[in-house]
Amino acid sequence: MAQDAIFADNLTYRYGNLVAVDHISFSVAKGEILGFLGPNGAGKTTTVKILTGQLKPKEGKATLLGMDVAHNIERVQAEIGVCFEETNLYQRMSALENLNLFARLFDVKPFDGYALLKRVGLAGREKDRVENYSKGMKQRLMVARSLVSQPQILFLDEPTAGLDPTSSEAIRNIILEERERGATIFLTTHDMMEADKLSDRVAFMNQGKIVALDTPDNLKQQYGKRALKARVSKKDGKLESREIDLDTPQTADAVQGLFKKEKVVTLHSEEATLEDIFIKITGRRLTE
């Protein structure tokens, strides 16, 4: 536990009778990217709110960098950066003014807001009011704001949701750069491709509970089906598909038989996606 950046022990939160977070426990090591996956309403955002001190858990305890969040809220908040799902910037202020304000609140001295804006691709527009920015630019500014204090732990809630590919790629690169710097990243998303690409481990959350937590490779190995997919050409010229399970004792014979008996046009391996695994575990889609 000593080296864990985030440690959640039996966290529970209820909105009235609705259990949003149901006795979840997990840890995130320093410098790790944890992808937190789940459909809308699974309890992801509530978990982030508890971890960042916005909500007090009804049961259980959250510890960040060895500090109990409930009792050291200001010290904890000095070490974290949060990028919210919804855009919550000061619209009538410029990008630079937004960043300078938060630098003063975090007591960051000296602070080079221009350099940070350049890093997220907003150089040249730093004095424009945020209300004149596109959605992608606002989202990049949100990410920049979460980096103002060079936090040890970064909470990113759907940072690329609804963005164009260029903006999404820019944000993914920043996430990887931050990990290089040594930051721990708690990435909440329901984009399984993004989670697969960026995360060291992923946690599946469903109905307030963590139903799986492991590396993407281990999850695919544990829950996914590996197969060979072939397209074969029939005598009449029509194409048909063939599938060979890679994890059975008969795999070698089946492959040999395929090439002996059929005219193979294409052949490729196929592995399960995180989406497939999530459906297999929960019976629900991530995008529900």
Binding region for other proteins (CB under 8 A): 52-55, 74-75, 77-78, 80, 82, 84, 86-93, 97, 101-102, 104-107, 145
Q: How far is the CB of 143 from other proteins (least distance, A)?
A: 13
Residue number, 96 or 274, with CB nearest to other proteins: 96
Residue number, 95 or 210, with CB nearest to other proteins: 95
Residue 43 to residues 11, 277, 287: CA-CA distances in angstroms?
A: 11, 19, 14
Residue number, 5 or 89, with CB nearest to other proteins: 89
Q: How far is the CB of 101 from other proteins (least distance, A)?
A: 5
Residue number, 93 or 211, with CB nearest to other proteins: 93
Q: How far is the CB of 20 from other proteins (least distance, A)?
A: 15
Q: Which helix (H) or strand (E) holds 239?
A: strand 239-245
Residue number, 40 or 215, with CB nearest to other proteins: 40
Buried b (16+ CB within 10 A) or exposed e, 33-50: bbbbbbbeebbbbbbbbb
> Who's near 231: CB < 8 A, 6+ residues apart?
239, 240, 241, 242, 264, 265, 266, 267
Q: What is the greatest pairwise CA distance in the chain?
A: 75
Percent helix, percent strand, percent coil in the chain, to nearest 5:
35, 30, 35
Q: Which residues pair with 185 in a beta bridge?
A: 33, 154
